[in-house]
Structure 1
Amino acid sequence: MLRRIVPAAAAGTLALALVAAPAQAANPAVMFTKVYFDSPGKDTRSNSSLNAEYVVLLNTTRKAIQLEDWILRDKTGYKYRFLPFLLKPGKTVTVRTGSGNDGSSGVFWNRKQYVWNNDGDTAGIYRASDLKRIDTCSWGSAGDWTNCK
């Protein structure tokens, strides 16, 4: 962090004070890195097509974060509530729209329809304890996916 010295008046005398320069905003503890909102090919609602629609979340901290009851949602209000899931420091979790077996790096929403709008949407992740919004990622109609960093 850069510091600058600025004059400060103290009891009628000239003094020097150290003032911290504003820090850059830190990354949220859990952040979106990618959203694949338009699965490849024709939207058939097959499980493989649904699972090709997904979001990737990253733990940016140096400690594990328990995601149990955290909520992932779109702008319309579709919600995925995490079951017990420990996201290790620096690791990612992929949340796929369709069905499958949850594992250490991915979980499944178990939906039969798509969640993320191909013509633009916003994904949000909310902490369980107070439903505070931790991060969002928005996109328009261009492409099939977006990097959120």
Structure 2
Amino acid sequence: MNQEFFTIRNISTRPINLSGFRVLDVANHVFVFPRGYVLAGRTTAIVRTGKNRNRALTLYWNQGNYIWNNTGDTARFQTPAGKTFDTCTYKAVTGRYRVAC
């Protein structure tokens, strides 16, 4: 499961507090950024589907199954209040194993 992941990048120079922000797929599997999680400016963090201990730039969803559909899916990035902030939709393409939004 740890081969499946998404990344989130802070393109600003200022840190962003992501506490309580959520990422959901079409089936409403929900990842919630942990309390106190701050992403430094110009930094990218990885969120892996599988299980392990969170680190500064690698977080774990702690799921026992894969989340993202190989045939296509939509990731929704939401505020702690549930307002959709951004989305990324992809469809299957033969030979492609990464999607960038």
- TM-score normalized by structure 2? 0.91
CA distance in 2, matches of 1:134, 1:73: 12
Query: Does 2:77 align with 1:125?
Result: yes
What do residues 41-67 of structure 1 show as CA deviations (whole Å, max 9, x unaligned)? xxxxxxxxx000000001122221111
Ranges of 4+ aligned residues in structure 1 off by more than 4 Å: none
Report the count of equivalent residues: 98
1:105 correspondence with 2:57:
yes
**Percent of aligned pairs sharing the same letter:** 29
Indicate whether 1:69 and 2:20 are aligned: yes
TM-score normalised by length of structure 1: 0.63
Between Structure 1 and Structure 2, whose CA radius of gyration is higher? 1
- Give me the whole-angstrom Cα distance separating, in 1, the residues matched to 2:66 and 2:56: 23
Q: Which amino acid aligns with 1:109?
A: W
* RMSD of equivalent CA atoms: 1.0
- Equivalent residue for 2:68? 116
Structure 1 equivalent of residue 30 of structure 2: 79
C-alpha offsets along residues 52-109 of structure 1, whole Å, 9 cap, x if unaligned? 0000001122221111111111011000111121101111111000001111111000
